[in-house]
Amino acid sequence: MTTTAIPSRRLREGDFAQDSHAAKYRGEFDAHPEAMRQLIHVLNEPANEQRLLDAEAHGMPALAGIVRQVEGDPSIETVLKAGTKGYRFRQTVGVAITLKMSRLGWKATGRKGTVKNARYFTKAEHYESDRPPAADAKQRALAALDAIEHIGDDDERAETGHMLMDALNSTRREEGRPF
């Protein structure tokens, strides 16, 4: 039996070097290594992946879904408020989001939208899905399952899993459906 590898959705520093446009922003890793590590960490959090997608689903730029997490990180905020250096870093945030959205199966539209309630960002790119709507629903469901992995400790997750499977089994039995 052969399996097909699913491409990683995780954003990595090396992704900036592999993309011709993003490579122009590699200098930000050298200038602000901690802020860049934190930005990549924020973008890779399963809950934040969902926030990016939810923002677009509600007609807002993807950045609007995570702007509080980005601006709220102390190492990132230090760079954002650093005058002209902050401007280049804000551009880098946009490039990182484009790379991340691409990993999630979305592409830039070339349209900008307003980012409300942000201190350092005013406008950001909109994205559209490369996948049919059914694939988007599956992607959201998988992201939700990924987020569940981070709730509680191992014992709590195992206990919850057993309870859910027992409830599903019971419901199917009551409905006369095979499991």
Cα–Cα distances in Å, from 62 out to 5, 123, 145, 169? 27, 11, 20, 38
Please give the pLDDT value at position 8: 64
Helix (H, G, I), strand (E, B) or coil at 120: coil
Token representation of residue 165: 């499977």
Beta-carbon-side half-sphere exposure of residue 166 (alpha carbons within 13 Å): 6
Of 58, 65, 62, the residue nearest 111 (C-alpha): 62
pTM for this predicted structure: 0.70
Q: Where are the domains of the chain?
A: 13-130, 136-174
In tens digits, the chain (179 residues) has pLDDT values of 444 444 568 999 999 889 999 999 999 989 999 999 999 999 999 999 999 999 999 999 999 999 999 999 999 999 999 887 789 999 999 999 999 999 999 999 999 999 999 999 999 999 998 766 666 677 777 777 777 777 778 888 778 877 778 877 887 777 777 75
Residue 12: DSSP 8-state = -
Please give the pLDDT value at position 168: 78
- Sign of the alpha-carbon torsion through 44, 45, 51, 53: positive
Using alpha carbons only, what angle is made at residue 73 by residues 103 and 115, rounded to the nearest 5 degrees? Answer: 65
Give dist(CA 120, CA 127) in Å, integer. 20
Q: 120 and 136 in contact (C-beta within 8 Å)?
A: no
Helix (H, G, I), strand (E, B) or coil at 110: strand
